[in-house]
Amino acid sequence: MTVTGVRKDPAARTMTITAEFDAAPERVWRLWADPRQLERWWGPPERPATVVEHDLRPGGAVSYFVAGPDGERSPGWWRVHVVDAPRRLEFALGDPNIPALTVRVRLDARATGGTRMAIETTFPSSDAMVQLIGMGFEEGMSAAVGQMDAALVEGQR
Amino acid sequence: MVVDSAAGQQAVDRVFHALADATRRDILVRTLQAEHSVSALAHRYPMSFAAVQKHVAVLESAALVTKRRQGREQLVSGNVDTVRRAARLLDELEVVWRGRIGRLDAILAEGPTGATGATEAGGATGPTGEERA
């Protein structure tokens, strides 16, 4: 696995994941900029994405749908904010699988060759995420949740 | 996955909205630990019964609590499943992106097919001619 770090900052509502690749930034950029390549990695094999529209310019949109295992289609979209090939990409993401987010992608050439990619995802929805995780909410919950964990797992089966 | 549809997205928004209020968070914590009647909850806060009832209704619409009737009482209990899913959003996000990065890596490992693709300047016309392998 090429993931080199994951940082979750509840106060800033962000999750940042960094990865390193041997390929040059230009090559890594194409995985985002070429819709046919994007389709190959955006969704997992059991939920493949089909890109319908791919206008990678500030103000442009990328739209796609994800096909579920039983054939149902869920639409997803990007609203593109920043494009600076092959270094920076920022967009708002409405993805069928996760809440609305802002995504910031940074590609940096490594001194030793290859690329360091950082993806920062931010929950825009007010300060709910802060309150949800940053103010001890999760800790406050954990005792009660822990007790019922086994029952829940069983209930979901 | 946390959410599988637009309807699921709305459900998440409702959860966030419900949790954005300190009283509602407090009600939720209490009702996760034990079932409470609305009137028992109302005694705990410096607000009217109706106001507390309203908070409970917001929590209920986000599926964070469930209500049942027992005689004249309305009993409220927290829905642990919803809480757990909400609290794990950042974790879910990590899983989603780890999966994507793994697949990116697999494509890059196929070879230098795209090694010359340094030309896009952000226009709509990417090198779309490349077919899926």
Tokens describing residue B60: 């209920």
* Higher pLDDT, residue A156 or B45: B45
Please give the average per-residue pLDDT across A102-117, as a whole number.
94
In 3D space, the residue among B66, B29, B65, B34 whose CA is nearest the CA of residue B45 turns out to be: B29
Q: Which residues of B102-129 are buried (b: 16+ CB within 10 A; e: fewer)?
A: ebbbebbeeeeebeebeebebeeebbee
Tell me: the pLDDT tens digits for A42-76?
Answer: 988 888 899 999 999 999 999 999 888 788 888 88
Provide the whole-model pTM.
Answer: 0.58
Chain A residues in contact with B12 (beta carbon < 8 A): 99
In terms of average pLDDT, the best of A4-18, A83-97, B14-28 is A83-97
Nearest by CB: B104 against A15, A31, A94? A31
Highest mean pLDDT among A8-22, A119-133, B43-57: B43-57
In this structure, are residues A85 and A33 in contact, taking their beta carbons and an 8 Å threshold? Answer: yes
Q: What is the pLDDT of residue B71?
A: 92
Higher local confidence (pLDDT), B51 or B117: B51
Q: Do B9 and A94 touch (CB under 8 A)?
A: yes
What ipTM does the predicted assembly reach? 0.75
Cα B16 from Cα A100, distance rounded (Å)? 12
Among residues A118, A138, A149, A129, the alpha carbon closest in space to that of A5 is found at A118
CB A31 within 8 A of CB A41: yes
Residues 6+ apart with CB under 8 A from B82: B15, B62, B63, B64
How high is the pLDDT of residue A147?
34
**List of residues 6+ apart from B128 with CB closer than 8 A:** A34, A35, A36, A54
The answer for residues whose C-beta is within 8 angstroms of residue B124's C-beta and 6 or more apart is A54, A55, A56, A57, A60
Query: What is the rounded CA–CA span in Å between residue A119 and residue A7?
Result: 10
| Nearest CA-CA distance, residue B34 and chain A, Å | 9
Residue A138 to residue B120, Cβ atoms within 8 A: no
In tens, the pLDDT along B37-93 reads 999 999 999 999 999 999 999 999 988 899 999 999 999 998 877 776 666 667 777
CB contact under 8 A, B89 and A21: no
Task: Inform me whether the pLDDT recorded for B3 exceeds 70.
Answer: no
- Number of Cβ within a 10 Å radius of residue A125: 18
Where does residue B66 fall: left (phi above 0), alpha (psi -120 to 50 degrees), or beta otherwise? beta
Strand partners, B117: none
Candidate ranges A12-16, B1-5, B116-120; pick with highest mean pLDDT:
A12-16
Distance CA B26, CA A97 (A): 29
Rounded to 10 degrees, the C-alpha dihedral B13/B18/B22/B28 comes to -120
Q: Report the mean per-residue pLDDT for chain B.
A: 76
Average confidence (pLDDT) over A141-151: 37
- Find the residue in A nearest to B18 (Cα): A128
Say which residue the tokens 């300190």 belong to: B22
